[in-house]
């Protein structure tokens, strides 16, 4: 994408009323919708699903289209990518979608305790070097953040092409006593769920074209004492 197009997208992002660009300072001073997304923004009592690292919003929008009795928020730091999701939301006249441009490691300041029912993590940066394990979105460090926003029976979904990241996550689940609900090493070879096969991200299409098998797992965090 050219610099000119990026600047155009950044400018247009400012015009969407379902787009929130939140700095560290804004979040630290208190985000108005934290703990009040359904009451103040969505105006309903539906369950809230959050996609972390939403990119162009393919999953956020795709899920919102299929489950219009739920609310969805996509988070990414790349504003030019989110623009596509915003446009698709507008064109589809979806009222159950919002996007946040901010850093995922600040997620606990975007949502209140027990506010989120489900998290999707789709094709995140795997940070393959062992020295960067703490940056992985399924690391114990990030799990502690999710505990602060997820309901006690909340679900985490991971979809990835990276075998190292996938098996690392399985190790984290096992070693920390979380409940593995489902696991497949080959979504398109074993799975018939349209949510997993019909919604494809930009990067997923690239990996599929290269013949890479897509992995998926779903788990519930261990209840805290």
Mean pLDDT of the chain: 93
CA distance 160 to 207: 10
In a domain, 96, yes or no: yes
Distances (CA, A) of 151 to 29, 119, 137, 138: 24, 11, 18, 17
Q: What percent of the chain has pLDDT over 70?
A: 95
Mean pLDDT of 163-185: 97
Q: Is the pLDDT of residue 194 over 80?
A: yes
In a domain, 89, yes or no: yes
Asked if residue 96 lies in contact with residue 129, where contact means CB atoms within 8 angstroms, the answer is no
Sheet (strand 97-101) strand order:
19-21, 97-101, 71-76, 48-52, 116-122, 150-160, 215-220, 179-184
Residue 6 pLDDT grade (very low, low, confident, very high; cuts 50, 70, 90): low
Instruction: Return the structure tokens found at 45.
Output: 């009592």
Query: Can you name the residues that pair with 49 across neighbouring β-strands?
Result: 72, 118
Look up 76 and say whether it is catalytic. Answer: no
Angle between helix 79-91 and 3-13 (nearest 10)? 60
Residue 225 maps to a domain? no
Please tell me what DSSP assigns to residue 212: P
Query: 4 versus 160: which is more confidently predicted?
Result: 160
Residue 39 lies in a domain: yes
Domain membership flag for residue 10: yes
Cα pseudo-dihedral 95, 100, 105, 111, rounded to 10: -40
Strand 71-76 to 97-101 pairing: parallel
Nearest to 96 by CA among 143, 162, 48: 48
Catalytic residue among 125, 153, 171, 186: 125
Structural domain boundaries enclosing 9: 3-220
> What b/e string do you get for 108-139 counting C-beta neighbours within 10 Å, with b at 16 or more?
bbbbbeebbbbbbbbbbebbeeeeebebbbbb
Beta-bridged to residue 76, according to DSSP, are: 101
* Whether the predicted pLDDT of 191 surpasses 70: no
Nearest-Å Rg of the Cα atoms of the chain is 17
Residue 75 lies in a domain: yes
What is the domain-level CATH number for residue 8? 3.40.50.150
Q: How many domains does the chain have?
A: 1
Give 112-156 pLDDT, tens digit per residue: 999 999 999 999 999 988 888 999 999 999 999 999 999 999 999
């Amino acid at each position: 994408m050219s610099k000119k197009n990026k600047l155009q997208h950044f400018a247009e992002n400012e015009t969407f009323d379902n787009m929130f660009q939140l700095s560290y300072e804004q979040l630290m001073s208190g985000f108005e919708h934290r703990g009040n997304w359904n009451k103040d923004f969505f105006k309903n009592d539906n369950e809230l699903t959050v996609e972390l690292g939403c990119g162009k919003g393919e999953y956020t929008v795709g899920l919102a289209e299929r489950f219009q009795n739920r609310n969805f928020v996509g988070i990414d730091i790349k504003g030019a990518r989110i623009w596509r999701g915003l446009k698709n939301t507008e064109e589809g006249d979806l009222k159950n979608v919002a996007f946040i441009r901010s850093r995922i490691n600040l997620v606990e300041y975007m949502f209140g305790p027990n506010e989120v029912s489900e998290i999707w993590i789709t094709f995140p940066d795997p940070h393959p070097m062992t020295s960067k394990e703490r940056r992985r979105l399924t690391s114990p460090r990030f799990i502690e953040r999710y505990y602060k926003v997820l309901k006690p029976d909340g679900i985490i979904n991971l979809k990835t092409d990276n075998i190292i990241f996938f098996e690392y996550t399985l190790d984290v689940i096992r070693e920390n006593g979380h409940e593995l609900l489902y696991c497949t090493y080959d979504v398109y070879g074993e799975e018939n769920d349209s949510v997993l096969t019909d919604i494809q991200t930009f990067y997923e299409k690239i990996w599929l074209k290269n013949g890479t098998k897509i992995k998926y797992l779903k788990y519930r965090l261990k209840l805290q004492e």
